[in-house]
Amino acid sequence: MTLDQLYLALIAYAENRVLVAKEAANQARSAATNKESVAETKWDTFGLENSYLAHGQSVRVAECETDLAYFRKFSFAESDEVTVGSAFQVEREDGWGKVIILSQCCGGGEFECQGRSILLVTPQTPLGRSLLGREEGDKVLMKSRGVDQEARIVRIFLPQE
């Protein structure tokens, strides 16, 4: 897997988030303006609830579009240390492994690239803070279902590779 392939998969992931958010916002807006949403009594709040949902979904669309704009300008870090913009592979002794991108947004997001699972982590999270400044070969504690698991950074992807 190259960083070019990873970047294209990252953009596709961010674009898909925008599409899904827009569809949800359109559905919520349609439900809020549907004639069946008109209140029949003063206790009937279905229409009001749908309008709140439509507003929330519209806010989500804006956030997803901001994330997409961030990733369109994104470039991978050219550092041997983990920093914002780094893409690196971690593995545990039990064979579990994942490629992680340290990013300013979309923390917790996951997507696939070349059959490998990619995880987005932000530096504001405990995991993100523990990864900053680490190098290939360093060990890091990761939580899995509330249990600390030790993993090793086996590779930091660099643009010139």
State percent of the chain over pLDDT 70: 89
CB atoms within 10 A of CB 156: 21
pLDDT score recorded for residue 159: 82
Strands (DSSP E) contained in 22-115 are 87-92, 97-102, 110-113
Annotated domain spans of the chain? 3-72, 87-157
Report, as an integer, the average pLDDT of 101-114.
Answer: 94
Of the CATH numbers 2.20.28, 2.30.30, 3.40.1000, 3.10.50, which one belongs to the domain with range 87-157?
3.10.50
- Residues 117 and 15: their CA atoms lie apart, in Å, by 18
Which DSSP symbol is given to 105?
A: S
- pLDDT tens, position by position, 59-89: 999 999 999 999 999 999 999 999 999 999 9
Q: Taking the model in full, what pTM does it have?
A: 0.85
